[in-house]
Amino acid sequence: MNAPLRVVVADDQVLVRTGFRMILTADGIDVVGEATNGLEAVEAVRRTVPDVVLMDVRMPELDGLEATRRILTGARPEPRVIILTTFDLDHYVYAALSAGASGFLLKDVTPEHLVASVRMVRSGDALLAPAITRRLVERFADRGAGTASLHRDLAALTPRELEVLGLLARGLSNAELAGKLHLSEATVKTHVARILAKLGLRDRVQAVVVAYETGLVTPGGRG
C-alpha cells in the first residue's frame, strides 16, 4: 500500500489554509504542516519532509518565490511546489516556474481540481498544461529582471529531442506530439523523459521555460 501523500500548506490567510486542509484531509491526504509566511514554510518543509508544498506567492517575512528557491535548493528529497495565486497571470508565476515550481493554482480552485493537482505533481507530472505555460512564458520571457534563469545548453539533445522540445513548448500534449511526429505516445514519453534527464529538469514546465530562454522557441513564434 502506498504511503499517504504528505502536504505543507503555506498561506498567510487562515481561511485559505483551513479550507485547503479540510479538502485534502477529506480525500485521505495528510496535511503535515502549515505556514503563515515564507520563513515558516522553509522550516516546515525541513521539519516534516512533505511530498508537495502549496505555496502562496505574497506572504510576509519571505515571499513564496524566495521560499520556493530555498526549499528546492536545500531540501532532500525535494518536494514538489505548487504556487498559489489570485491571478492567473501573476507576474511572480514565471519566476516561480524558473525557480523550480511544478505549476500553479488559482486560490478559487475547485476541491476536485485541488486534490487532483496535488496527486498529479506527486506522481512527477507538471501541473500546467504546456499551452498555459507557453502563455506565461511568452508574456514574461522578455522581462528577465529579477527572475531566475535555468541556463541550459541544448547541445546534448539529439535532433529528434530538439524537435520534441520545440513542439512541447508550443503547447502540444503527448498525444498531439505523437500524431504530429508519427510516433507512439510511449515513444514520446521516452523522448520527454530523456530531455528532462539530459537538461537536469524536474518536469515539462521547466522544459518549456528552457525552450524559450535558449531561443529554441520565440515568443509569438509559430510552430
Q: What is the CATH number of the domain that holds 52?
A: 3.40.50.2300
Alpha-carbon 164 to chain mean position:
19
Examine the domain organization and report whether 173 and 118 are in the same domain.
Answer: no
Q: Which of 111, 127, 143 is the last residue of a domain?
A: 127
Q: Are 68 and 83 in contact (CB under 8 A)?
A: yes
Q: What is the rounded distance in angstroms from the CA atom of residue 69 to the CA atom of residue 67?
A: 5
Q: Are 122 and 98 in contact (CB under 8 A)?
A: no
Residues near 195 by beta carbon (within 8 Å), at least 6 away in sequence: 157, 161, 164, 165, 168, 201, 207
pLDDT at position 183: 93
**Owning domain of residue 193:** 154-213
**Rounded (10°) CA dihedral 10, 5, 121, 41:** 20
Mean per-residue pLDDT over the chain, rounded: 83
Q: What is the rounded distance in angstroms from the CA atom of residue 1 to the CA atom of residue 126?
A: 24
Tell me the pLDDT tens digit for each residue of 192-209: 999 999 998 877 777 887
The verdict on residue 79 lying in a domain is yes
Q: What is the rounded distance in angstroms from the CA atom of residue 173 to the CA atom of residue 65?
A: 27
If we measure between CA atoms, which residue out of 69, 80, 152 comes closest to residue 121?
Answer: 80
The verdict on residue 135 lying in a domain is no
pLDDT at position 115 over 50: yes
Of residues 137 and 180, more confidently modeled: 180
Partners of residue 30 on adjacent β-strands = 6
